[in-house]
A and B are shown apart, each in its own frame.
Chain A
Amino acid sequence: MTHAERLFPRIDFRRLAALIRKETRQMFRDPSTLLIAGVLPVVLIFLYAYAVSLDLNHVPIGVVQECDSPAAQSMGAAFTGSPHFLVKTARDRREVAEAVVGGRLRGYVVIPQDFDRRVAAGGREPIVQVITDGSQPNTAGFVANYAQSVVGLWRTSRGLAAPEGITLEPRFWYNPEIESRRFLLPGAIAIVMTLIGTMLTSLVVAKEWERGTMEAIISTPVSAVEILIGKLLPYFVLGLLATLLITLLAIHVFGVPLRGSWGALMLLSSAFLIPALGQGLVISSVARNQFIAAQIALVSGFLPAFMLSGFIFEVGSMPAPIRALSCIVPARYFVASLQTVFLAGDVWPVFLPDILGMLAIGLAFFLVARTKTKKTLDT
């Protein structure tokens, strides 16, 4: 037997079919599979659609009305009327400063005594002062941004020129409430697929070791490659089904548009499942109990897919070493392409390098899994 034959022996399709049939039957009988592939996507979708919104509304702030001129009054009314803010009006900044310290308000806006003069000065001087609670940087950023846009709109409505002549706040091109949803839901597909591909696969293999069924299987003439493929194919199909489910929900329940084609989406998902499943197999060749498998899958699969993929935190704004690290996270390529296929359309120049990246990582995982998976109990 040559080395190549030993690594990749001829596949006996009857044995393979038997393994796939067994795996599929188990999948349908095991409630945890249904939970991860069926219930979890739905939960995640609702979570990202409602709870994890990157846009905020009704942020409690204070508005300190130090000036009583009609213009200043109308400025204050602009804040009160904004859907983003829940305004507590005050005369003296000390009244609200305490509330910010106490965490009841997220910041405050001061309309100064010389408001009219500053407005008349026409953009050379700031017309309001914004104080935010820096202990919650994200919210602070929103308060600052939204306040700026309220002031900008107010200026425009009064026919005043904006500083440097630009008043347009890009967020307003879309409905800000839906925008983060449009961004997040495609990313949720990557998270669910990581769970199915990496976590579920490594768990089911570890379970076979734990229960002793693997010992019985490897004592038969079945080859290691057949065992690997017998595990992969059913979960590959399951992953695609989950993608289908999430996409349908995203489109029909949450109104996220799919501007690209279904074909491209499925092709991207298939490409991503290869490294995800490969990683699951590598983990299961190392971890022979479910607890360890879950831990490794969480740390090496789920967390990077969550944090380093650009799903929530933009890759471009990460420090260079982290950015370099994200190159070996398959979800990074997937998330970028998913956002494109949902929000922009079939942009093949974006997809092709991403698909290549995913396949390359997948190939590496498979080679490791193939050399690590042996039909032996020796470790």
Chain B
Amino acid sequence: MTMPDGPIPAVASVELRGVVKRFGATEALGGITARILPGRLTGLVGPDGAGKTTLMRLLAGLMDPTEGTVTICGRDTVQDNEAIHTLTGYMPQRFGLYEDLSVMDNMELFADLRGLGSRANRTLFDQLLAFTRLEAFTTRLAGKLSGGMKQKLGLACALMARPQVLLLDEPSVGVDPVSRQDLWRMVHELTSDGMAVVWSTAYLDEAERCATVLLLNDGKVEYDGPPAELTGRLHDRSFRLLHPVEDRRFVLSQALDLPSVCDGVIQGSSVRVVLREDASLDEVRGLADASGAGLAPVAPRFEDAFVDLLGGGPGGRSVIAECMPAVDVPEAITVECTELTRRFGDFTATDRVGFEVRKGEIFGLLGPNGAGKSTTFKMLCGLLKPTSGHAHVMGHNLRTATSAAKGQLGYMAQKFSLYGLLSVRQNLEFSAGVYGLEGAVRKERMDEMIEAFQLQRFLESSPDELPLGYKQRLALSCALMHRPPVLFLDEPTSGVDPLTRREFWSHINGLVRKGVTVLVTTHFMDEAEYCDRVALMYRAEVIALDTPDALKREAVTAGRAEPTMEDAFIHLIEAVDRKLDAAPGGVPA
């Protein structure tokens, strides 16, 4: 393993030696040995539940390792705990600041707690405020800041007293791509001053921005080194099947079932596949020819490498989709809304939102936090009454025929919303019951779901005890029990590792091929690529609605021939902001 560029610093900022952390019988960290160097941005990367937060807390001296030692700048976190709190600046995953105090109150508190007289340090405050661009908001309550501004304030407080090691636990969660760029800029400035910065993240694409990464999975280090080296291993193994004539979802499911393919995802109208190590391209070339697609090599991504490291993704078949009958409805437009407006007091959450969703389409609703996508979603599901405008699902007006409309849709809420106190079987029975399935039909549907999702051995356990993938299957089967022609998915893959996400999308792709219409919100930008069309919401309005490919094309610049979804997203939002800034009268709140 090669070390990152530049001279290797003699003293590591953080030394982990054989670190094990157990909580009761569960082992969160299973023997970690690693060094984190000063002046460098180290990414602590891994899916949810990999042990990132536990490791961060050990580094911050908030927990003691069960076995092994952690030293920060040569000081042991257990023996010398007080010193650790001076050496490190820690930003917890959840916003750790007081929402009912102002920005300035919070900064003063943390300055005092870190032993800096707040009054004597006006210059430091001014620097931090300028650095985080929060100068204009010092009197605002922290709870009233946007997600991105909160993280910047958290960063300012963690930076108080110039720590040697800065620990940021998932700083980019709930932060829109524009603020995320800002955070990266700040962190890069800090590392060039010699600080060791640890940035933990579940977004694998963020790994590529770090100087070096510690890739965690299931409490173990899967990889330790510069990200480029890991992705380099996949050189000549990533390909794109360009614009197949055949349905791209069908092409993907076929590709995933090829023995030579290790991973595959949809990218707009193309399909991206990763070959297994030393596998030949012949099978993929055959598939490309058969489906009328072009074939082009592409640069590997960190996520490809991660999936490869874990032995490849799941196959492309979805048993559940196969046993569902094809949706046979006359409507060509299954969901539509016009001029949909919702106000909460004098705050407008959605402003004249309108779009149509075609039968058998995956329609994505994207946007930063607070842009109004959840509100739109809730109105379309009949969970919230619009202030004005109207919405129809399968021809039923949600205002006048709410229950008829609800009977036509399946809804999978964030974090699955299963009942932990009911068994898996009872959860299924309950969902069948609320959708009015009874007697023989209910039994038949339940058996079908249990069979298709292989839930037999878990029937009597609580959903909380299920492995994540099965939990997801159960939530999906609860939403599908009444065979709805329209499926609403609210952040379905947040908190789910990449392999489980792939399995989930196999099911969704299969369902769509049967004619089911899917509406989805997601904050994973690459997942927007699975959508046929994407509506981008910003400041309560739909600012763009098009295919992922068309949106990306708009963001093409001289220096960026192949923009990602995230680039497209930032491009569009910045365009709106520029227009608003230029408008006389300034930006409406």
Contacts and interface: CB of A to CB of B under 8 A. Distances in A.
Nearest to B115: A221
A216 interface: yes
B428 to A, nearest CB: 28
Given A213-B97, A220-B85, A15 B113 contact: yes
Nearest to A212: B94
Interface string B43-64: 0000000000000010011111
A11 to B, nearest CB: 13
A211 B105 CA distance: 17
A25 B113 contact: no
Contact of A211 (B60, B62, B94, B115): B94
B81 interface: yes
A17 interface: yes
B90 A212 contact: no
Interface string B442-480: 000000000000000000000000000000000000000
B82 interface: yes
Interface residues of B, number: 35
B82 A221 contact: yes
B64 A376 contact: yes
Interface in A350-379: 375-378
B90 A30 contact: no
A29 interface: yes
Given A26-B101, A212-B93, A377-B57, A218 B62 contact: yes
A12 to B, nearest CB: 7
Nearest to B114: A220
B529 interface: no
A219 B90 contact: yes
B4 interface: no
B92 A211 contact: no
Interface string B100-112: 1100010011101
A18 interface: yes
A171 interface: no
Interface in A90-126: none
Contact of A219 (B64, B85, B105): B85
A3 interface: no
Interface string A12-27: 1011011101100110
Contacts of B108: 18
B191 interface: no
Interface in B71-98: 81-82, 85-86, 88, 90-98
Interface in B114-130: 114-115, 117-118
A212 B96 CA distance: 5
B98 A26 contact: yes
Nearest to A18: B112
Interface residues of A, number: 27
B497 interface: no
A237 interface: no
A377 B61 contact: no
Given A22-B101, A26-B101, A211-B99, A219 B92 contact: yes
Interface in A203-228: 211-213, 215-222
Contacts of B85: 219-222
Contacts of B113: 15, 18-19, 217, 220-222
Contacts of A15: 112-113, 115
Nearest to A379: B23
Contacts of A375: 62, 81
A348 B393 CA distance: 77
A25 B90 CA distance: 24
A222 B86 CA distance: 10
A212 B61 CA distance: 16
Contacts of A211: 94-96, 99
Contact of B92 (A18, A21, A215): A215
A365 to B, nearest CB: 25
A22 B97 CA distance: 11
B114 A221 contact: yes
B365 interface: no
A195 B534 CA distance: 53
Nearest to A1: B82
Interface of chain A, main secondary structure: helix
A211 B117 CA distance: 26
A222 B114 CA distance: 7
Contacts of B90: 216, 219
B251 to A, nearest CB: 45
Nearest to B169: A215
B2 to A, nearest CB: 34
Contacts of B157: 216
Contacts of B154: 216
Given A22-B101, A219-B85, A376-B62, A212 B95 contact: yes
A148 B306 CA distance: 90
A217 B92 CA distance: 10
Nearest to A15: B113
Contact of B61 (A12, A213, A219): A219
B64 A215 contact: no
A212 B114 contact: no
A29 B88 CA distance: 31
Given A17-B112, A212-B95, A30 B100 contact: yes
Contacts of B94: 211-212, 215
B142 to A, nearest CB: 10
Contacts of A29: 100-101
Nearest to B85: A221
Contacts of B112: 14-15, 17-18
B64 A378 contact: yes
Contacts of A216: 90-92, 96-97, 110, 154, 157
A219 B86 CA distance: 9
B62 A25 contact: no
Contact of A212 (B60, B92, B101, B109): B92
B115 A12 contact: yes
A375 B61 CA distance: 9
A15 B113 CA distance: 5
Nearest to B61: A219
A212 B92 CA distance: 7
A217 B113 CA distance: 8
A377 B63 contact: yes
Contacts of A26: 98, 100-101
Interface in A156-194: none
Contacts of B95: 211-212
A209 to B, nearest CB: 10
Contacts of A218: 62
A378 B78 CA distance: 12
A282 B434 CA distance: 44
Nearest to A214: B96
Contacts of B96: 211-213, 215-217
Contacts of B110: 216, 220
B96 to A, nearest CB: 3
A212 B57 CA distance: 13
Contacts of A378: 63-64
A377 B97 CA distance: 17
Q: 6 nearest interchain CB pairs? A: A216-B96, A18-B112, A212-B94, A219-B90, A220-B113, A215-B92
Interface of B: 57, 60-64, 81-82, 85-86, 88, 90-101, 105, 108-110, 112-115, 117-118, 154, 157
12 contacts: A14-B115, A18-B112, A22-B101, A25-B100, A25-B105, A30-B100, A211-B99, A216-B97, A217-B113, A219-B85, A219-B90, A220-B85
Given A377-B62, A377-B63, 5 more contacts: A25-B101, A26-B101, A211-B95, A212-B92, A221-B85
